[in-house]
Structure 1
C-alpha cells in the first residue's frame, strides 16, 4: 500500500436522521362525517452505522467525507399509515477501527469482525399519531407526538492494524526486508532510516496450509512515546498485535541496550503492551562471524526466546516461523 494512500485517522461530523412527526387526523368517509382519530405514527430517522469490511485496509475512502447525514423519517398520515423510515447511512471501515467522541476522547466502539455492524448515532424515534391518545373521555385528541430530534457529533475514526505478529524495532532493523521474504507483501526497502512510513501487512504461509498475519510497524526511535519521530502515530498499531517480534540488527552497538530502549518506549506508551508475548530476532546475521554470536546476545533476557536470522541468506527464517507459530498457539509466560 502506498504511503499516500494509507490513512489511519479521520474526523467526521455525523448526524442521524430526525424522527417523523405523528399525524393528527380524523377518519372521514361518505357517511361518517365525524369519525375517530386515525393519525399514523412518524417513521424512525436513519441511523449512522459502522460496518466491518475485510476488503478495506485503510480509511482513505473516508478522508474527504467530512459530513455524514442520515435521512429523516417521514411524518405519519391518516388511516393509521406510518411514515417511512429514514435511510440509514452505513460507513464501511477496515477491521481494527475504533470510533471516539472527538470532544471527550471517549471510545464509543470498535469494529473487529467482518460484517459486524454497530450503530454510531441512532436515528430519532418517530412520534405517535393522535390515534394513540384517544380515551373514553377524550375521543378527539387534537395532538400527536413530534419525532425525536437527530443526534449530531464530531467523531474520530482511528485504525489500529490487526495482525498476529507485530515487528518492533528501530529504523533500518530489517523489518521490511523480513516481511518481503516471508510473505507476498512488497514494502519499500532501502538502506536508510524511515523507509517504512506506513504499516505494511503480509500473510505468512506456514506448514499444512496454515498462515498468520505479520505487520511491519514503522520504526520506533527513543522518545517515540513522547511523540518524537513518527511517535504516537504508529505506536497504537502495536496494541492490536498478539505477539511482538523485536528485531535488532547484528551490527548494533549494544543489542541488550537497544532491546531495553524499545521495551521502555512501549512501557511509557502503554504498560499493558509488556503483557504480550515477545520474541527477539537478531537480524542481518550474515554481517557477523559465527564465533561472535554468543557475545551479541549477552545480557538479553533469558526468559524471552531469541534467535539469529538473515533475510538475505534465509538463515533462521524457517526456525523463526516455527517459533512464531508455537508461541501464537502455545502461549509462553512473559515476565
Structure 2
C-alpha cells in the first residue's frame, strides 16, 4: 500500500513538472531543434599521408574461361565406356562496388584482372568457377568509358557495376556426344574475358561544401567544427586536396562537410588550382560560402565565386547557399561586416573560426537548412 502511494505521488510530481515545462515552451524547443555534439576527445597529433587520388584511368580484364577436357572412360569390365570429359569453369568478372570503407582511388591498380576458370577433367569433373574481382570504390564514383560517356554512377552504398565479364567455360567432349557421334574427340577452349578501359571520377557525397578564396579560413572552420585535420597555414593554396569532416547531432543525424581548395579569379581558365575540384561539390545539399571579411572588398569575392560556379556548368550555381563572413576577430573584419551585409542583400552570418565565435549558431543554421532541403526533396519525389 505504501509502495503504490509513493508511486502515485512520484507520477503526479512528474506530471506537474512536464506541465510546467510545456508552459515555458522548453519541451517544444528541444523537439524542434537538434544540438550539435561537440567532440570531447582531443584530436590525434599523428600526421596523415597527403596522397589523394580522385580520378584514375584503369583497364579491366575479365578472367579467361577454363578449357574443356577430352577424355574417355575405361573400366575393368568395359574399356570403351564412352567420353567423360568435363566442362571448364567460368572466368571471374571485374566488378566495382560502392563502399564506405574507402575514400579515394589510391588502392585501385591501373590494370584490374580477374582470375581464370579451371579446366575440366576426366570422369565428368567440371572445372571450378573463378571468383569475381570486386574492387571497392568510394560512394559517388562516376565511371566513364574510353569515349568519355558516363556508363555507371555508384551514388549509393553497395551498388555494383560489372566492368568486364569473364569468359564462359569451354565444353568437354561429353557435351558433344550424339546418337551418331558416340565418341567425339573435340572440346572447346575457354574464351578470353572482356577487356575495357574506364575512367573513374570521384564526386564526394558531402552534405555541405565549403566554397571560398584561398586563406578565407575554410580549413580553420573545418578544423573547428569537426575532427578532420586539414593543414592550416598563412599562405595561398594550403589546401591541395579535398578534406572531409563529420558533424554529429544529438538526434543521431550526421552531416559531412567538404573543404575544397580555394578558387581565384579566372580559375575556369586554369589559373591557380583550377576548378577541377568543384566536382566534389556537385552533389552537396548545401553550399557554404566562406568570405574573408578582413579583405579590402570582401563583397566582390562572392560575385567572383558565383561567376566561377557558373563557368563550371551544371546546377552547381543554383544549389542552396549560406554565406558566412569569417575573421571577425580582426578589426578590418568587423568594419567590413556591415557593408558586406548591405551589398549582398542576403543574410550573412559573422563568425570567427579561429576564436570559435558564433560556431554553435552556424551549426544550428546548417541543420535547419539541411532539414528544409530534405523536406522539399521528399515533397517533390
Do both proteins adopt the same fold according to a TM-score greater than 0.5, normalized to the shorter chain? yes
Q: For residues 17-166 of structure 1, what are the structure 2 equivalents within 5 Å?
A: 17-62=63-108, 65-101=109-145, 103-166=146-209
Structure 1 unaligned residues grouped into runs of 5+:
none
Alignment of 1:253-264 (within 5 A): 253-264=296-307
Structure with bigger helix share is: 2
Q: TM-score, normalised by structure 1?
A: 0.87
Q: 1:315 aligns with which of 339, 344, 357?
A: 357
Would the aligned equivalents of 1:182 and 1:205 in 2 still touch at CA under 8 Å? Answer: no
Query: TM-score, structure 2 length as denominator?
Result: 0.77
Question: Aligned ranges for residues 166-185 of structure 1 at < 5 Å?
Answer: 166-185=209-228
Deviations 1:261-281 (A, max 9, x none): 212212221222134221111
Does residue 324 (structure 1) correspond to residue 366 (structure 2)? The answer is yes
Please give the root-mean-square deviation of Cα atoms over the aligned residues, in Å. 2.7
Equivalents in 1 of 2:334, 2:197: separation in Å? Answer: 58
Q: Distance in 2 between matches of 1:306 and 1:29?
A: 90
Name the CA distance, whole Å, in 1 between partners of 2:348 and 2:86. Answer: 70
- Write out per-residue CA displacement over residues 119-164 of structure 1, whole angstroms, 9 at most, x where no aligned residue: 3212111122333333334433333333221222333333222211
- Equivalent residues of 2:293, 2:334 under 8 A apart: no
Q: Name stretches of at least 5 consecutive residues in structure 2 with no aligned partner.
A: 1-46, 377-381
- Count residues in correspondence: 329
Q: Say which one has the larger Rg.
A: 2
| Compared CA separation, residues 24 and 136, structure 1 to 2 (3 A) | same
Greater shift in the superposed pair: 192-201 or 73-82? 73-82
Secondary structure, aligned partner of 2:174 = helix
Which residue of structure 2 lines up, in the alignment, with residue 273 of structure 1?
316
Select between 67-76 and 136-145 the one with higher mean Cα deviation. Answer: 136-145
Kindly indicate whether the alpha-carbon contact (under 8 Å) linking 2:327 and 2:333 is maintained by their aligned counterparts in 1: no
1:201 aligns with 2:247: no
In structure 2, do the counterparts of structure 1 residues 2 and 263 end up closer, same or farther at CA, with 3 Å as the change threshold?
farther
